[in-house]
Amino acid sequence: MSLDGMFQGLSISASALSAERARMGVIAQNLSQASTTNRGDGTPYRRKEVVFESVLEGTLQGGVQLAEVVEDSATPLVRQHRPGHPDADANGMVTLPNVNTAFEMVDLLQSSRAYEANLEAMQVQVRMAEKALELGR
């Protein structure tokens, strides 16, 4: 469509909003699984992280998209002494996920702020287009 030029910036902001929503979903998953000691195969949950990449169509249109969700294997799992726990080993030690709730909350806040920033960029662009249309009056 030839009117697409009017919405190019809007599409870029929208792609960022989608990406941030995906990041929030992953953070929510990390938080909810913060104490899952068995994810079915006997191993505890490992925190996940998102990787973003830019979408390039030509040189102008540069949105962002979710490239992949990777498992964090660098952060060590937490070991706790809980003899009564069904997943405890012979020494009474339980391996807990490497999710740090405080860090996840910081990520969540960051994601939320990024979402707001892109939303604002979108709103400004819509307002600009509306103002430009007023030229016709």
Which stretches of the chain bind other proteins, using CB under 8 A? 1-3, 6-7, 10-11, 14, 17-18, 21, 119, 122, 126, 129-130, 133, 136-137
Kindly tell me which of 84 and 136 has the beta carbon lying closer to other proteins.
136
Find the shortest distance in angstroms from Cβ 126 to other proteins. Answer: 5
Nearer to other proteins, 12 or 99 (CB): 12
When the beta carbons of 75 and 112 are compared against other proteins, the nearer one is 112
> Rounded to whole angstroms, what are the CA distances from 8 to 53, 56, 85, 114?
18, 13, 55, 19
For the bound state, the minimum distance from the C-beta of residue 66 to other proteins, rounded and expressed in Å, comes to 13
Q: In the complex, what is the shortest distance from the CB of residue 105 to other proteins, in angstroms, rounded to a whole number? A: 23
* Closer Cβ to other proteins, 18 or 112, answer by number: 18
Please state, in angstroms and rounded to a whole number, the distance separating the CA atoms of residues 41 and 82.
Answer: 20
Task: State the Cα–Cα distance between residues 7 and 128, nearest whole angstrom.
Answer: 11
Task: Name the token pair of 13.
Answer: 């902001």
Closest approach of other proteins to the CB of residue 1, in Å = 6
Q: What is the CA radius of gyration of the chain?
A: 22
Nearer to other proteins, 42 or 136 (CB): 136
- What is the smallest separation between the CB atom of 11 and other proteins, expressed in angstroms? 8
Pairing status of strand 48-57 against strand 61-71: antiparallel
- C-alpha dihedral over 63, 69, 74, 79, to 10 degrees? 140
